[in-house]
Structure 1
Amino acid sequence: MPKGKIIKALSGFYYVVNEDGITQCRGRGIFRKNKVTPLVGDQVSFEAENEREGYIMEVYERKNDLIRPPIANVDQAILVFSAVEPDFNPLLLDRFLVLIESKHILPIICISKMDIVDQKTREKIEKYAADYRHIGYEVLLTATDDNKTIDMLLPFFEDRISVFAGQSGVGKSSILQVLRPDLEIKTNEISSHLGRGKHTTRHVELIEIGNGWVADTPGFSSLEFTEIEVTELSDCFPEMRELSQDCKFRGCTHISEPKCAVKDALTNGGITQYRYDDYVEFLQEIKDRKPRY
């Protein structure tokens, strides 16, 4: 039975790339019965009725999956945030980072539009970049129409499934156009009234870039911490995850407990104040979350 990877899902059809090309497939009824929905990125086996059409017979075990956007087996997330227009937002970046970390996906931070910043803004962005690099994150400072952007990004895509995410209007589609000039990806001007762009991508599709695949998606439509528990949040902050082992109490929330290694690091400058403040805000949000039934 042939095997392949779903690279596009649209209107009930799944497009499976395999050694013979791309086969348009439908899901078998058993998937609906077992509540299994094939996702872009899934490794599957299928039966082909002819050279172009077939049915997906089996979806293999996933290493992760996202609900919004619906995609599976993601290796890394390119988190695109602009330096200006809209202004860089570390609180929103930390929200994305927590969600990505919770799925055990490697984040790559890409700060775009560095070609249009003034000196004061550049210095501020470079300070943020240094903070996130100190934590251990890869941070790329890019300009939209710049060959250096291609040189920086291309090596990260090798043999990986990547997803782009971030604020609307920051240039995600524009970066994809630089990487693949042959793609006709629609871009919208930023709404001056709302201070953000409008979504133009309507479905999930894997686009081949180099020897890897990049998901062109509508972006994250939900940024709520619905699947993260209070005791799990600090694990989504790498600098806290490492220090938590030295806290006196197991399950320390790093708020009011004595002999907390995280709070000691905060006092000594080992953790940035804004990252800790974001952690506290997210923790309260999780505590206030309505219980799931």
Structure 2
Amino acid sequence: MRSQKILIVEDEKNLRSVLAAILEAEGFSTTQTESAEDALAVMARELPVLVLTDQRLPGMSGTELLARIKERWPRVPVLIATAYGEIEQAVQAIKAGAEHYLTKPVDEGELVAIIRQALSCRGHTNPPRSQDLPRHGIIGESPGTREILEMIHLVAPAPSNVLITGESGTGKELVARGLHVASPRAHAPFLAFNCGAVPLDLVESEIFGHEKGAFTGAVRSQAGKLEMAGSGTLFLDEVGDMPLAMQVKLLRTLQEREYTRLGGNQPLRLAARIIAATHVDLAKAVEAGSFREDLYYRLNVIP
């Protein structure tokens, strides 16, 4: 039985080789090119089952390549890999016909899961209508509800952080759960933590965990929500109520992709996706000095 061939379009040689090795270890065969123009020439000779392309390429961009592919070979799934600052472009690319997007650095497990999902849906070339999308417990038929369902469908596949805003009682946790269930992380835990419902001196311990003796009453070591979420999703509700000291530690965790328990010195890898929510206008909170601007932009990756 012939293996399924995937075309990798990436101008960085080392990354191209890494992606090929990951996919070949999963039983796929690969063809590799460093430009969109070369990719189109390859496809004219032999059609792959899927195209994985970087957004930033010399000459034609990944989005432009997508348009060319969909014009000539509409049934071939296209995945676009982007840097964090290009998420908005990636969402627009999905609206234009890309099956999914990934953010760099690409997670190996997520890459394989998204590719298998895209191949299982191959042939469904029309984007799903809002009434056909999973509802994730969200009730209603208004244009606003349809827009939320469509955004869940578009944003869920990416590992990017998400910030959900809205008044209390408007279903922000339902949206967060929908993003988790529709993502490749659905098999892993979804944990929720309300930053405003816990005494300030316990917030760090609850999120990051603590070691025995870290504070009075810490008679044993305890994993925090980040650790317990594993490769799943941690939903930080009312993140606008988080103390400034904790905002610093959360920012460092998101930047370095690792953290330590309270009272500990052993670095732990951040594997979970962070979805945050608030009823506070964080842009105004930044102006008032009660919320860090750099953390705001780390959380608000997808506008």
Q: Which has the higher helix share?
A: 2
Higher percent of residues as strand: 1
Please report the TM-score for the alignment, with normalisation by the length of structure 1: 0.25
TM-score normalised to structure 2 length:
0.25
